[in-house]
Structure 1
Amino acid sequence: MSADVAADVARGREALAPAATRQLRFTLTLRNPTGLALTDQTVWLYLPMKDTTTQHLANVRVSMPHELSQDSLGHSVLRLSLPTVGPFTSKVVTVQAELALRQEAMRVTLIDPSPWLKAERWIECDDAEVRALAATLQRSTQSETLDAIYDWVSSQLVYAGYVADPLGARLALQKRWGDCTEYAYLCCALARARGIAARPVGGYVVNGSAAPRAEDYHDWTEVYLDGAWRVMDAQKRCWRQPAEDYIAFRVHQPVATNALGLAARFKVDGSLDLRM
């Protein structure tokens, strides 16, 4: 997140009262599956993003020593270092995040929209079929075009449940099915094909405080409209309505911006087995 955008977010957080507060609790089990002691093990984990147009991470509590940092996109990156883990032993770590959430998306300055307009892996906005469909969904305003994109994707794709490997926008369009990731990628590709900044986001959708399971992880789209990033979730049918239940952990990006690389939720440097 640039300094200008961070300042806009901070000012908006002061100006707009939060619509809700949430506490998210996670339990991590770190296990040594070997008969040998492991040394110098490091676990990297995404936590809720520090500041977005709809959320503010107010506090984090972890049951062991840790480091928490932010990268250039505003991701919250948790680092756990374990000097020694004995043979066949486990360590349970609890993480609690407290957030303030808003119903209305806060306006932020998008200084450089180019990263969210270009074609990339899985978001093939330059594909001929994607561009042809996007052209049929063009309306007189960006707002109306986004309505048309949302209506088409939410009505024409069939939800396939969890799909292990990403298909991407092009294959999702051809097959007309996929999981939440394909809905997000296709919405992004169609928006970008019409010159509207869009990006896929991963996290959790929770109504109240919760202890989300790993299988609850969800992907959706954010589109930049009228000066703010706004949630468009064609799979769960959320558009043009309050989105304070959406808690962003990671913006999908084609290049690494932190130590997790391109990992979606966590990464282990070493031989530990991690369960959430």
Structure 2
Amino acid sequence: MKKVLLCGLILTRLLFSYTGEVEESIKTPGNSPTGLAYDGKNLWLADRGLNKIFCINTITGKVIKEIPSPSYWPMGLAWDGKYLWNADWKTGKIYMIDTKSGIVKRAIDTPTPSPRGLAWDGKYLWLADNAEDKIIKISPSDGTTIVEFDAPASDPRGLTYDGKYLWIADRIQDEIYMMSPDNGEVLIVFDAPGPFARGLAFDGNSIWVADYQNDYIYKLKIRDGIKFIREDQRESIVTFTHLIRNFGPGRILKAEVHIALPKDRDNQELVSENEYITEPKDFVTDQWGQKTAYYLYTNINPNEVVKSIIKYHVKVYAVRYFIYPDEVGTLKDIPKEIKKKYTVDNDKYQINHPVIKKALNKAVGDEQNVYWIIRKIYRYVLDHMYYELSGGWNTAPTVLSRGNGSCSEYSFVFISLCRSAGVPARYVGSVVVRGDDASMDDVFHRWVEVYMPGYGWIPIDPSGGDKPSPREQALGFGYLQNRFLITTESGGNSTTLSWYYNSNEFIETEPNTHYEVETIAEWEPVFK
């Protein structure tokens, strides 16, 4: 059974309620459940194999009533307050049904070839199509398309509306997504309860999911107050090595080395004390509260190599945050000390530069919601930049004008725009698992954390999230894989690490002295 960590306690998915956790389940009356809807009291379930639509009591799970489906391939269902709507894949039509008599009151053509999920938002129908991978708002009178968005992933099936957001189930990813009906942004991602989520319904408090393979209807918890979960624990020994190799012909007169020391965070735990293979001279804390091990070397001769080595025994996790935009506080709710500390300007960010101010105005406009300020900045950066690792870290205005950058440069641009908008932002740096559990990293990775009132510091990876699909973009916003050990937390221009992360060095040499600095993180799995 998959385990998750909630609020510091490891609990199975069956013992604690969080977004996506199964509260209860009902066995379906047939073996081919597809569409699902809620009429304010009972569930309605379509079954393709039986060509029937069943009314099911949510308390007892008993079938109260059954009516024939309008045609032979019933898919999505939606309840409009009076009538039940059913999308049929074979005929390409959507039928409006009087559930009392079973009479079809209206039939409209679907605008796409493969109608699957169906939802009602109080005025319009929403349709999920898995051939075109679209989520489409249509007129219930004639099927005219009002607006359409890309589906979160490649095989959308179930669809429902909760009064604020759309919820979509994807067959291939086995995930459920919360999407904004205003702009198509995917806001929340979580695992589906079964292997083939087909129909979705909202009962005013919970999401119901019909699974085609398991033949069960699952009731899922949402908006439970749990802000994040940990899952997919990885326990490792991480050996970080900082190496200075002097090629000469002169001497290195002085080398000061700082290695950043990780701490417990939402995504990680230190299992034991750090093992200092090379004993540091001292420990130093910079202006951001980042602690480093400090090493001092003098008179390093030509062809001499000095190494500073630390071992960390850690557990790292995938962390998934459940952020509901309407539950995020305002700019006024941000603690004054955090806002003062993490909205300051410097030469790298240049938050008042015309390029930054112009981009911020285009990205955010008059938006006041803190979540949407941040999310619109994220969208702007994704739309106006592409990843390119070319060496060097330019200023935020330069990078944004150029339109490409490394993970660090993406981070600087994002922080600059957030701070210019009055949103506290900082960066974190990490060492990374590269493929196998036993791996070596000498590239590393940096991303952003923003402060959301009501939630705290949230990870945002603008370079990692710069991908084609809405799902992949959403995974760059409030989600971390279990591949990262965060060593560094900084607002920038650290007194010890400067603009670097993981480690940094200050070196003084004789003339004509050539040297090389190498930093490597070795991951070794711990099996128990």
Pick the TM interval, shorter chain.
0.7 to 0.9
After TM superposition, the score normalised by the length of structure 1 is: 0.75
Report what 1:113 is aligned to.
339
Give CA-to-partner distance per residue, 1:207-258, whole Å, 9 cap, x none. 67555433x1222111111332111111111213245433333334455434
Pairing 1:72-221 to 2, within 5 Å after superposition: 72-82=287-297, 88-92=303-307, 94-102=309-317, 103=319, 111-138=337-364, 139-161=367-389, 163-206=390-433, 212-214=440-442, 216-221=443-448
How far 1:98 sits from its partner (Å)? Answer: 2.1
Alignment of 1:182-261 (within 5 A): 182-206=409-433, 212-214=440-442, 216-225=443-452, 226-237=454-465, 238-258=476-496, 260-261=497-498
CA distance 1:62–1:177, change in 2 (3 Å)? same
Report the CA distance shift for 1:194/1:128 in structure 2 as closer, same or farther (over 3 A).
same
The CA distance in 2 between the partners of 1:193 and 1:268, in whole Å, is 31
Aligned partners of 1:274 and 1:194: how far apart in 2?
38
Letter in 2 for 1:15: G
Structure 2: 5+ residue stretches without partners = 11-229, 322-333, 466-475, 510-514, 520-528
**Which letter maps to 2:295?**
L
Kept in 2: contact 1:204–1:212 (CA 8 A): no
Structure 2 residue corresponding to 1:15, chosen from 8, 21, 30: 8
1:197 deviates by 0.6
Q: Report the CA distance shift for 1:212/1:150 in structure 2 as closer, same or farther (over 3 A).
A: farther
CA pair 256-172 structure 1, distance change in 2 beyond 3 A: closer
Higher strand share: 2
Q: How does the TM-score come out when normalised to structure 2?
A: 0.43
- Larger mean CA deviation between 130-139 and 174-183 belongs to 130-139
> 1:114: how far off?
1.3
Q: Distance in 2 between matches of 1:231 and 1:95?
A: 26
Q: Secondary structure at the match of 2:488?
A: strand
Q: What amino acid maps onto 1:46 in structure 2?
A: I
| CA separation of 1:34 and 1:116: change in aligned 2, threshold 3 A | same
Of residues 44, 47, 59 in structure 1, which corresponds to 2:257?
A: 44
Higher alpha-carbon deviation: 247-256 or 127-136: 247-256
Instruction: With a CA cutoff of 8 Å and minimum separation of 6, indicate the structure with the bigger relative contact order.
Output: 1
CA distance in 2, matches of 1:32, 1:86: 7
CA contact (8 A) 2:431 2:441 kept: no
Counterpart of 1:275? 518
Structure 2 CA distance for aligned equivalents of residues 210 and 48 of structure 1: 21
Structure 1 residue ranges without an equivalent (≥5): 1-11
- Which SS does the other structure have where 1:33 is aligned? strand
Aligned length: 259
> Equivalents in 2 of 1:50, 1:227: separation in Å?
20
SS at 2:247 equivalent: coil
SS in 1 for 2:259: strand
1:172–1:178 Cα contact (<8 Å) kept: yes
Confirm or deny: 8 A CA contact 1:24 1:209 kept in the other structure.
Answer: no
Amino acid at match of 1:235: S
- Separation of aligned partners in 2, 1:210 and 1:152: 37
Relative to 1, partners in 2 of residues 1:63 and 1:126: Cα closer, same or farther, differing over 3 Å?
same
Answer yes or no: is the 8 Å Cα contact 2:349–2:415 preserved in 1.
yes
How much does 1:28 deviate? 3.8
CA contact (8 A) 1:180 1:218 kept: yes
What is the Cα deviation at residue 64 of structure 1? Answer: 2.8
Q: How far apart in 2 are the matches of 1:64 and 1:141?
A: 49
Point out the structure with the larger helix share.
Answer: 1
CA 1:16/1:120 → structure 2, altered by over 3 Å: closer, same or farther? farther
- Pairwise CA distance, 1:183: 0.9
